[in-house]
Amino acid sequence: MSDAVVRLTGVSRTFGHGPAAVDAVRDATCALHAGERVALVGRSGSGKSSLLHLLAGLDRPTSGDVEWPALGGQPAGLRPGTVAVVFQGPSLLPALDATENVALPLLLAGEADDAAARAALGALERLGLLPLARLLPEELSAGQAQRVGIARALVGGPRLLLADEPTGQLDRATAATVVDALLAAAADTDAALLVTTHDRRVADLLDVRWAMHDGRLTLPEAAWSP
């Protein structure tokens, strides 16, 4: 098998100190490879988001090692878009239309305005969102806004695509559409995809399940606990 896109070895993350300390992640070891489609399941507060932040390089472990072998370095030092994160809540800038929101990562990386706009329109088109290109976030439905956020994640050609409860605020039909969009986006670049969820229906749309309970990661999930 090729080098892992990201690998955690004996990773723990503790917040706070003393009696008030919270062990959000406890001794987790796992790896994600290109093309893998993983649902990270567990109840709210089980540590799913904390693990995702470690995989994305948005946080550092209290102990253990996080590596990105196939990327050649930590995400903070890589080209923007190599690692992309889709969050649960609204993440679009209200003053920018859909195209401008999607182009933003490229502009921040120094891409020329015209080139960034063309790439943004291409990402929107791949997700069937071209009719929304000039709409502001307030003019979008929740599902549309979430899919525009996925287009923004896709525009940089990510090798690692992480989505944190992306369907938590959506109805069932819209949630399925959003997960389909994530799968399509990951297929576009053969990215490793991990989606955190506490919804069994969402988890069933991905190939593999990892489970979190009280900060501990189980691979693969032995049994579903609703």
* Rounded CA separation 104/94 (Å): 13
> 105 or 9: which carries more pLDDT confidence?
9
**Per-chain mean pLDDT for the chain:** 88
Q: What was the pLDDT predicted at 224?
A: 43
Q: What is the pLDDT of residues 176-189, one digit of tens each?
A: 888 888 898 888 88
Tokens at 211, concatenated:
């489970």
Q: What was the pLDDT predicted at 225?
A: 43
- Residue 216 pLDDT > 60: yes
* Rounded CA separation 155/169 (Å): 24
Q: What is the pLDDT of residues 112-168, one digit of tens each?
A: 999 999 999 998 998 889 999 999 999 999 888 888 988 888 888 889 999 998 887
Q: What is the pLDDT of residues 47-77, one digit of tens each?
A: 999 999 999 999 999 999 999 999 888 887 6
Q: What was the pLDDT predicted at 98?
A: 97
Q: 217: pLDDT confidence band, cut at 50, 70 and 90?
A: very high
Q: Tell me how far CA of residue 11 lies from CA of 66, 140, 199, 217, in angstroms.
A: 7, 39, 25, 10
* Rounded CA separation 149/178 (Å): 10
Q: 105: pLDDT confidence band, cut at 50, 70 and 90?
A: confident
* Rounded CA separation 51/217 (Å): 9
Q: Tell me how far CA of residue 135 lies from CA of 68, 129, 139, 187, in angstroms.
A: 36, 11, 6, 26
Specify whether domain 6-218 bears CATH 3.40.50.300. yes
Report the range of poorest mean pLDDT among 84-88, 158-162, 216-220: 84-88
Q: 223: pLDDT confidence band, cut at 50, 70 and 90?
A: very low
Q: What was the pLDDT predicted at 176?
A: 83
Q: 1: pLDDT confidence band, cut at 50, 70 and 90?
A: low
